[in-house]
Amino acid sequence: MRLFPRLLLNHLAVVAVTASVLLIATELTAQPFIRHHVAQMMDLLGSQGNHMRLDLTSGMRTTLTRALLAALPLGLLVAALTAWVAARRVTASVRHLQAGSQAIASGQYDRRLPEVGEDELTELARSFNTMAGTLARIEQTRAELIGNVAHELRTPVSAVRGYAEAAQDGILPADQALAAIAREVAGMERLTHDLSLVSRVEGGRVELHLTSIPLRDLLTQAQDRFQLAFEDRGVTLQVDFPPAAWAVWADPQRAQQVLANLLGNALKHTPAGGRVWVSADVHGAEATVSVVDTGSGISPEHLDRVFERFYRVDAARTRGEGSGVGLTIARGLARAMHGDLTATSTPGQGSTFRWTVPLSPVAARPPQRS
Ligand code: ADP
């Protein structure tokens, strides 16, 4: 049944029940009261009062019934009017909600409902608007993601096509063209791998094997992996090894991935003659690994955004050097392992990336370094 007839019926039912209750109550309480007082008067008047008693009793009953019958249509009219006003207000708000949800369902995520007043329907409109805002953001992210992926793939795909055509036309020897194509394909493979990891990290679907790892082992492995690359680029890599007792609770492979991203970025953005310094500290139940470089630094307007998907400070200059998802993945992994990844920087002087990671609950709690 529609809202208006339902509300109207409810109001009318209330009036009918109230009238019936009044009638029954009058019968049960007023009648004995009057009868009692009339009987007392009759005692005073003697036998003459008998006729008067009947008159009084039936007169009272008729008066009460008439009064109730007169009040009933008036009550019904007021009930119908208030039901109509209330139903109009409620149905108008519900219709707005209905129209809004239909608009959203058809893809108009910018649609909002008026939030007037403080009643439950306004709260519903507010929640509805919040939901619409979230959907709009999700839609924007989705559109951006598709745009970014298309953009990232366009360059290597055109390069592959260029090399293939150059080989076909005899401009480039086939073996050189094939080597270049293999390089581009490897880049695309890296990109698809990174993208699938981003989606798993952001969806909280990355599988972790958390275990107790000596922090010193993690830093040693990272140093072994990067030492040659640093030497090749003429950048000094200095690692301050923490005490052997310091152990963190992390996934060894994912922890290496976080460190590799930080060291790779530091190396990429530090010119020859510069220095990258890795150290660790313990505060409370967490260890912090700091990677400090003397590189280009990141200006404040870019600093927060470097953790966003596909964000590159100088996209044109660093084309082909990375897809801008490394830090998104690193922060996602750090958070999945119940830690975090933050950055500070002074443009022109260098950057510091801090990775916090919980200390191992099974290893003896290491003494804190002041
Ligand atoms: P990419 O794959 O492009 O390196 P990241 O997500 O790892 O993507 O980094 C995002 C951007 O942050 C980089 O393009 C770079 O501009 C900036 N960045 C990251 N680390 C550093 C650093 N140590 N020094 C200066 N800029 C950095």
d(CA 315, CA 83): 63
Can you tell me which atom of ligand 1 is nearest the CA of 266?
23
> Among all chains, which residue has been given the structure tokens 């004995």?
32
Is 291 close to ligand 1, i.e. is its CB under 6 Å away?
A: no
Is 318 close to ligand 1, i.e. is its CB under 6 Å away?
A: yes
Instruction: Compute CA 191 distance to the chain's CA centroid, rounded to the nearest angstrom.
Output: 26
DSSP E strand boundaries for 88-229: 211-214
Query: For 18-63, what is each residue's pLDDT tens digit?
Result: 888 888 887 788 777 877 887 787 777 776 667 777 777 788 778 8
pLDDT at position 317 over 80: no
Is 93 close to ligand 1, i.e. is its CB under 6 Å away?
A: no
Q: Which of 152, 198, 306 to mutate to test the pocket of ligand 1 (most atoms within 8 A of CB)?
A: 306
pLDDT at position 260 over 70: yes
d(CA 163, CA 248): 48
**Closest residue by CA, ligand 1 atom 23:** 266
28 C-alpha vs ligand 1 centroid, how far in Å?
A: 88
d(CA 343, CA 213): 24
1 C-alpha vs ligand 1 centroid, how far in Å?
A: 61
Pair 187, 156: CB distance under 8 Å = yes
95 C-alpha vs ligand 1 centroid, how far in Å?
A: 50
265 C-alpha vs ligand 1 centroid, how far in Å?
A: 6
So what's the pLDDT on residue 368?
60
Query: For 210-221, what is each residue's pLDDT tens digit?
Result: 999 999 999 999
Instruction: Compute CA 65 distance to the chain's CA centroid, rounded to the nearest angstrom.
Output: 64
Is 360 close to ligand 1, i.e. is its CB under 6 Å away?
A: no
Kindly indicate whether the domain formed by 211-358 is annotated with CATH number 3.30.565.10: yes
140 C-alpha vs ligand 1 centroid, how far in Å?
A: 23
Query: For 65-105, what is each residue's pLDDT tens digit?
Result: 788 788 878 888 887 888 788 888 888 878 888 888 888 88
First CA to last CA distance, the chain: 73
Pair 348, 297: CB distance under 8 Å = yes
Rounded to the nearest integer, the mean pLDDT of the chain is 87
So what's the pLDDT on residue 211?
96
Start and end residues for every CATH 3.30.565.10 domain found in the chain: 211-358
So what's the pLDDT on residue 181?
95
d(CA 99, CA 94): 9
Residues facing residue 259 across a β-bridge: none
So what's the pLDDT on residue 163?
95
262 C-alpha vs ligand 1 centroid, how far in Å?
A: 9
Phi-psi region of 366 (alpha: psi -120 to 50; beta: other; left: phi over 0): beta
d(CA 286, CA 278): 17
**Closest residue by CA, ligand 1 atom 19:** 265
So what's the pLDDT on residue 342?
97
Query: For 115-173, what is each residue's pLDDT tens digit?
Result: 877 778 888 888 888 888 888 888 888 888 888 888 888 889 999 999 999 999 999 99
So what's the pLDDT on residue 151?
83
